[in-house]
Structures are given as C-alpha cells and as structure tokens.
Structure 1
Amino acid sequence: MTDTEMPDPLQMANLGIQHAIPVVHRMGVRFVEVRPGFAAAEVPFEDNGNHFGVMYAGVLFTVAEVLGGAIGITTFDSAKYFPLVKDLRINFRRPARSTVRASTSLAPEAVSAITAAADAHGKADFTLVAEIVDAEGTVVATTEGLYQLRTHGS
C-alpha cells in the first residue's frame, strides 16, 4: 500500500479491533463484511467455549456489540462523529457449538435522520438489531442495542 492509498473499510475495522479492543481481538472476533449501513462479524467456537461445551455467553454478546462501532465508523464521517453503546439486550435462543456470525443494518433514511440529529444536538441515539447465527444458519441469539452517535467535542 502506498502513502496515498487508504485501507479498505474491512481492513480498517479489523485493525481497529486489534488495536483499540485487544481482548475482542484475542477472542478471534473479526469483521467479515462492512459497508455503509451494514456490518457482519464472526467469532470461532475454538477457545470460546464454556464449562458445558457451548459458546460462552459473553462471546456471543461481544460479537454483536462490536457491530455498533463498525456501523458508526463505516456509515458516518469518523472525522466528525464517533459511536458509543448505551444499552444492549441479548436474547439467547439456542446453544452455539460452531463459529457464529452476527450482522446488523441501518436503513439509509435512518442514517440521514441520525446524522441530522447529531448535527443539531451534538448527539443522536439509534437502535441496532442484530441476529447471531451458527454455521448451519440457526439463530442462536438476537440483540437490540441502543447506541449513540456523538460529534467530536460533545
């Protein structure tokens, strides 16, 4: 990569985890797809199991929670805004015994409304609903997170 080339958003998101949240990186969480309004991450089962042979609940929570940061960075101007999590609820549905994938999205209309509110008030709340599926496509958990987009300096 030359000095004038920018890393792609997927590479930036994965480097962000590695450097900003090392514990998440050590779990093996990695983004597999990021674009404006969409993010997906995976985490392997290996080394993330619990005492009864299924994926540890905290790992499932983590792979869904980090989606808010990826959406925030790839959807909004990171020179002007930053995201943070305010609340996240998880509904465990089935045990996970394989790699899992979490994904979420924001509609373009929501992005416009969030941006306008953040510009007007210095911050704007938004909700992300994520689905976590195992290697067979079975939904193992769902989350609903309340995030906030803030302008730098607010």
Structure 2
Amino acid sequence: MTDQIVEMMNANLASTIPIADKMGLKIVEARRGFAAASVPVEGNGNHFGVIYAGVQFTVAEILGGIIALSTFDTSKFFPLVKNVDITFVSMATTPLRAEASLDDETIARVAAEAAERGKANYTLEAVVSDANGTVVATTRGLYQLRAHNR
C-alpha cells in the first residue's frame, strides 16, 4: 500500500506542484506519520556550486502535506502550510533526503480536533541530509489540517 501511495503522489506532482517536479523532487516514503522526499543535485545548484536554498526548503516543506495525505482522511481534510522556519547547517553538494514524522499522540489530537472544529494545527520538524548523512538543514513548520467544507 505504501508503494502505491508514493507512486500516486509522484505521478501527481507535476500537476499539483509543478516547480517541485521541475526540481526533480521525489517522494520516497509516505506512510502514517512519516514522510521522506529526495532531490538531486543536477539542475538545482546556485552561483557558488551548492544546492540552492529554495530547493532545500522545498524538499523539507513538502513533507507536511505528504504526511497529512498519508495519515488523515483525504476525503474529509486537506493540509495547508501556515509557517516554516529553516536553519541552514552545512553546504549541500550531494543529492538530498528530507524526513519528518508525527507521533501517534499528535496524530490522534489533530484528527479529533479537525473532526470537531473543522481544522487543527500541527508542528512538524524536518531534517534535510546529504548523501553522506550530514545534516544540511532543519525546518520547523506549522501546518493545518482543514475540513473540505469549511
């Protein structure tokens, strides 16, 4: 089931977030409470030979939506981003992988609150690492799960 979700998300990326598709961003894992995405070096460099900051931001930020889509009832709710802060830790010169997770307690709280109030906020911390496992950036994002009919 997880592989089917990932394939579907990647197939829809070009129409849902065209710039992420153009970056070569790929969702590599998507399951309840966990998401990971990757982005290549090719085509994503900047003027001094490292991966552009906006690409690093995108590979991390997209995880808030991916987790929501693979964790909550998409027939009732959709995710949106309210705020994301990023800290650049090291130069990025290799393909990148970003990962984030939500614990079971947070998932239960968000699901209950969204069902009751029509929306619920959740905070997600992501880590962006290079091919050697070196952390190159971290993010802290505020996302919202919102009912379709509100």
Whether these two folds match at TM > 0.5 is: yes
Q: Give the Å deviation of 1:33.
A: 0.7
The Cα RMSD (Å) is: 1.2
Q: Match for 1:40: what amino acid?
A: A
Q: Give the Å deviation of 1:109.
A: 1.2
Aligned residue pairs total 149
5+ unaligned residues in a row in structure 1: which ranges? 1-6
Match for residue 29 of structure 1 among 25, 29, 35: 25
5+ unaligned residues in a row in structure 2: which ranges? none
Partners in 2 of 1:13 and 1:126 — Cα distance? 21
Match for residue 92 of structure 2 among 78, 93, 96: 96
Q: How does 1:1-154 map to 2 (within 5 A)?
A: 8-154=4-150
Partners in 2 of 1:13 and 1:128 — Cα distance? 20
Deviation string, structure 1 residues 106-154 (Cα, Å, up to 9, x no partner): 0111111001010111100000000000000000000000000001111
Q: Give the Å deviation of 1:14.
A: 1.0
Partners in 2 of 1:36 and 1:16 — Cα distance? 19
Q: Give the Å deviation of 1:27.
A: 0.3
The alignment's TM-score, normalised by the length of structure 1, stands at: 0.94
Q: Which runs of 4+ in 1 moved over 6 A?
A: none
Partners in 1 of 2:67 and 2:14 — Cα distance? 17
Partners in 2 of 1:85 and 1:12 — Cα distance? 21
The alignment's TM-score, normalised by the length of structure 2, stands at: 0.96
